[in-house]
Amino acid sequence: METIFEAQDFIMNTGVEQKICGHAPHAIYEASVNKLHALEQMMSFYRDGSETTELNRHAGKEAVKLSQDMMFVLEQAQAFAQLSENAFHILLAPMVQLWRNAGAENKLPARDEISKTLKLCDSGNLVLDKAAGTAYLKQEGAMLDLGAIGKGFAADVCCDLYKALGATSAFINLGGNVKTLGSRPDGKPWVVGLQHPDQPRGKSYGAILCADQSVVTSGAYERYQVIDGRKYHHIIDGRTGYPSASDLKSVTVVSENSMQADALSTAAFVMGLRKGTDLIDQASCTGAVFFTAANEVYLSKGMKQHFRLLERFPCYEL
């Protein structure tokens, strides 16, 4: 008989919730937890010996051999950077750190520090040699950060694993990065709540109904520093070096591919409603929901059938 197994863990610096339905769901869960630990060891920005840390340590010195998975993530990241004209890119860590330190000291970074740091954040600093299986960061001080794409990749890997091990239905939420396998065990679609940007965690303004899809949100409210009483959020506009200042409070992207949804939600958040809509329409994802600074909700083409509005906001189709 099929049973459902549910569990919560803390991996990749975030809460991980899994629901797995199948013949031996506990064994599937154990396999996915092992895989998540291995992916953390591969991608972590903080762990000694991770591939990210090794690349960063050898910046400006020499190329580093990568695993196949890591090469795949970096290649995909470069493709998303190109598609989004660098609104998303994985070399912004020096700027993220500058702002984190500024928060700790409660002092805004000086303009010349921002311009100096911007040079280290050039997306051209990462050189991949697919034939040799290596990557090289050209400038000393340049740093890779997979914070905006890694959880999406991990969700894809876990869903592939669930399927390969015989799960009939499953759900994984990696710190707000959701992916589903099939529909719910009762045959109905999974319902993924969309966090209201200005209200306490758990309060949704809308929901996505989905099966075999991923739902990923990027928002200013998720992580931020307070400097001189003002909030500075964690998503950087690589053109200015400042936290992005678009007309959006959050963007949710729905796609069969969670890595794509993760990268594009970050990119669209930086790009704003108009350019973000063009990006989503161009990409092969299912669609996006934009929550604007003016508290309006916009749905990209094809999203209406997947979206339910739970609060009385003006809601428009693009």
Q: Does the footprint of ligand AMP cover residue 234 (CB under 6 A)?
A: yes
Q: How far apart are CA 228 and CA 99, in angstroms?
A: 13
In the 8-state DSSP scheme, what is residue 306? G
Closest approach of Cβ 305 to ligand AMP, in Å? Answer: 25
Q: Are 155 and 258 in contact (CB under 8 A)?
A: yes
Q: What burial letters (b/e) apply to 100-127, b meaning 16+ CB within 10 Å?
A: eebbeeeebbeeeebeebbebbebebbe
Closest approach of Cβ 262 to ligand AMP, in Å? Answer: 5
Closest approach of Cβ 6 to ligand AMP, in Å? Answer: 25
Q: Does the footprint of ligand AMP cover residue 96 (CB under 6 A)?
A: yes
10 Å Cβ neighbour count for 6? 12
- Residue 107 binds which entry of Mg ion, ligand AMP, none, CB below 5-8 Å type-dependent: none
The closest of 152, 130, 128 to 138, measured between CA atoms, is 128
Binding to ligand AMP in span 101-140, by CB under 6 A: none
Q: 41: helix, coil or strand?
A: helix
Q: Does the footprint of ligand AMP cover residue 94 (CB under 6 A)?
A: no
Host H or E run for residue 307: strand 307-309
Of 235, 254, 285, 303, the one binding ligand AMP (CB under 6 A) is: 235
Taking the least distance from each CB to Mg ion, the nearer of 81 and 167 is 81
Q: Does the footprint of Mg ion cover residue 148 (CB under 5 A)?
A: yes
Q: Mark the segment that binds ligand AMP (CB under 6 A) among 55-63, 89-97, 301-309, 310-318.
A: 89-97
Q: Does the footprint of ligand AMP cover residue 153 (CB under 6 A)?
A: no
Q: What burial letters (b/e) apply to 46-64, b meaning 16+ CB within 10 Å?
A: eeeebbbbbbbeebeeebb
Of 180, 214, 266, 292, the one binding Mg ion (CB under 5 A) is: 266
Q: Does the footprint of Mg ion cover residue 260 (CB under 5 A)?
A: no
- Chain residues in the site for ligand AMP (CB under 6 A): 88-90, 92, 96, 145, 147-148, 218, 222-223, 234-236, 238, 262, 266, 270
- Chain residues in the site for Mg ion (CB under 5 A): 148, 262, 266
